[in-house]
Amino acid sequence: MEFLTTFINGLSLGGVYALIALGYTMVYGIAKMLNFAHGDIIMVGGYTIMVFFNMTGLPLAAAGVAVVFCIVTGVLIEKLAYKPLRGASPLAVLITAIGVSYLLESLAQIIFGSDHKMVILNHWGTLEIGAFSVSYNTIVTLSSAIAIMIALTLFVNRTKVGKAMLAVSEDRDAASLMGISVNNIITITFAIGSALAAVAGAFYILKTPDVSTTMGSMPGIKAFTAAVIGGIGSIPGAMLGGLLLGIIETACLAVPALAPFAIAIEFGLLIIILLVKPTGILGKKKREKV
C-alpha cells in the first residue's frame, strides 16, 4: 500500500520532469545545444502564470498567456544570444546560455523580488478507488505529458516543418542545400521548446505551488539528465527518463535514511543505466564513420 502511494507520487513528480524534458529534448536534439537557460524559461512561465492568475483567477488563461510570453522570450533570446553563434562551437553557445540564465534570474529578482511566492492554481480533489487514492492533479499531469509526447512525435514525423526539423538535426548543411531554411527551423524549435517550458511551468506549479527566481534551475538539470538517459533526441525517451527520475527520487525520499542521499542515488542509478546502455534507454546506436 505504502509502496503504491509512493509509486503514484513518483509518477506525478516524474510527469512534471517528463514535461520539462520533452521541451529540453526538442531544443537539444535539433539545435544541438545544451540550453542551460531552459530551466529559466520555466521560471519566466511561472511568474507569468502567477501574475495573470492573481489578476484573473483563471488558471487556463494564465497558462495560455504564459505560453505566448515564453515563446516571445524564447525566440528573442534565440535571435539575440544564440543566432550570432550559429556555426561556432556548441560549447560557445552553452556559455551564452549560462549568461542568459544569470540574466533572467537577476531580472526576475529585480521585477518580482526575492521572496518565494505561493500560487495555488487548482486542486481537483482525489480519485478514490478502493483503498488507494490518486489526486486528479496527477492524472491530469500524466495524461497531458503523454498527450504532448504523442502530439510532438506526430508533429515531428508527419508535418512538413517536423520533417524539416529532422533533416536539420540529421545534417544541417545537407538540409540547407535541400532548400530548408535552417535559421527558421531552429527559431521554430526554440518557439516550441519555450512553449513546452511554459506548459511544464504550469504543471510544475500545479505540483509545487511555489514560484521563485531559482525554481527552474534544478528541474532544468534533472530534465537534461532525463533527456540524456532516455536517449538524446528521442521524444518517448525523454518521457521515460523523466518518469524514471521522478519515481527514483520519490522512492528515496520515502525512506528517511535515504532521503539525504536522494540525489546521489538518483544520479548513481543513472550512471549505471548509461554504462549498461551507453546511448540511453531508447537512443539508437550511431555507427561511427571515419
Partner 1 sequence: MNGFKTYFTNFKKTFKVKNFIMYFIVAGAMILFGGLGAAGALKRSFLVLLEQMGYGIIVALALSLVVGFLGELSLGHAAFMSIGAFLGCYFQNSVFPALSSSSPFVALLLAMLIGGAAAGAFGFIIGLPALRLKGDYLAIVTLAFGEIVKVLFQNIPVFGGALGIQNKYRYNVNSLYIIIFAVLLLTLIIVQNLIRSKHGRAVTAIRDNEIAAKSTGVNVSYYKIAVFVISAVIAGVGGVLFAGTQNTFKPAKFDYNYSINILVMVVLGGMGNINGTIISAAIITFINVRLGTVLTGNLAVLKDIFYALILIALVIYNNAPALKKFRSKYNLKNGAAAVWNFLVRAFTKKKAEPDPAREVEFGADWSRIPTKVEMDELLSTDFIPETDKPDRGEGGEGK
Partner 2 sequence: MKKGFKAMAGAMTLTMAVAAFAACGGGNDKNYAENNTQFKICTSGPLTGDYAKYGLGVKNGATMAVEEINKVSQAELGFTFKFDMADDRADPTEVTSKYTSFYESGMQISLGTVTSGACIQWKADAKDDGIFMLTPSATSDAVYADSDYTYQMCFSDNNQGTAAAKYVKDNVTEKTVGVFYQTDDEYSSGIYNTFIAEMGDKASAVVKASFTKDTKTDFSSQVQTLKDCEFVFMPIYYSDASRFMTTANLAANKIEQYYGCDGLDGIDSMAGFDVTTIPQEISFLTHFNSNAEGGKAKDFVDKYTEEFGTETLNQFGASAYDCVYAIYEALKAAKADGKEVKVNMAPKAVCEIMKEQLQKITLTGFVTGTTIKWNKDGTVNKPADRVIVKGIDK
Using the rule CB under 8 A, which residue among 45, 74, 162, 219 binds partner 2? Answer: 219
> Judged by CB, which is closer to partner 2: 49, or 152?
49
d(CA 251, CA 266): 10
Give the phi and the psi of residue 210 in degrees, each rounded to 5: -140, 125
The interaxial angle of helices 182-207 and 160-170, nearest 10 deg, is 100
> Judged by CB, which is closer to partner 2: 106, or 181?
106
Cβ atoms 49, 269 nearer than 8 A:
no
d(CA 41, CA 74): 7
The interaxial angle of helices 38-56 and 182-207, nearest 10 deg, is 60
Residue 281, interface with partner 2 (CB under 8 A)?
no
The cell for 240 is 521515460
Stretch that binds partner 2, among 117-125, 177-185, 226-234, 270-278 (CB under 8 A): 117-125
Q: CB neighbours of 251 closer than 8 A, spacing ≥ 6?
A: 6, 7, 10
d(CA 278, CA 283): 9
Q: How far is the CB of 195 from partner 2 (least distance, A)?
A: 22
Residue 234, interface with partner 1 (CB under 8 A)?
yes
CB atoms within 10 A of CB 32: 15
Residue 166 touches which member of partner 1, partner 2, none, C-beta under 5-8 Å by kind:
partner 1
Torsion of CA 264, 196, 212, 72, to 10 degrees: 140
Residue 113 touches which member of partner 2, partner 1, none, C-beta under 5-8 Å by kind:
partner 2
Residue 109, interface with partner 1 (CB under 8 A)?
yes
Query: Which residues form the interface with partner 2 (CB under 8 A)?
Result: 2, 5-6, 9, 12-13, 16, 50, 54, 105-106, 109, 113-120, 123, 126, 135, 204, 207-214, 218-219, 249-254, 256, 259-260, 262-263
Query: Which residues form the interface with partner 1 (CB under 8 A)?
Result: 29-30, 32, 34, 36, 81, 84-92, 94-96, 98-103, 105-107, 109-110, 153, 156-157, 165-166, 169-170, 221, 224-225, 228-229, 231-236, 260-261, 263-264, 267-268, 270-271, 274-275, 278-280, 283-284, 286-290
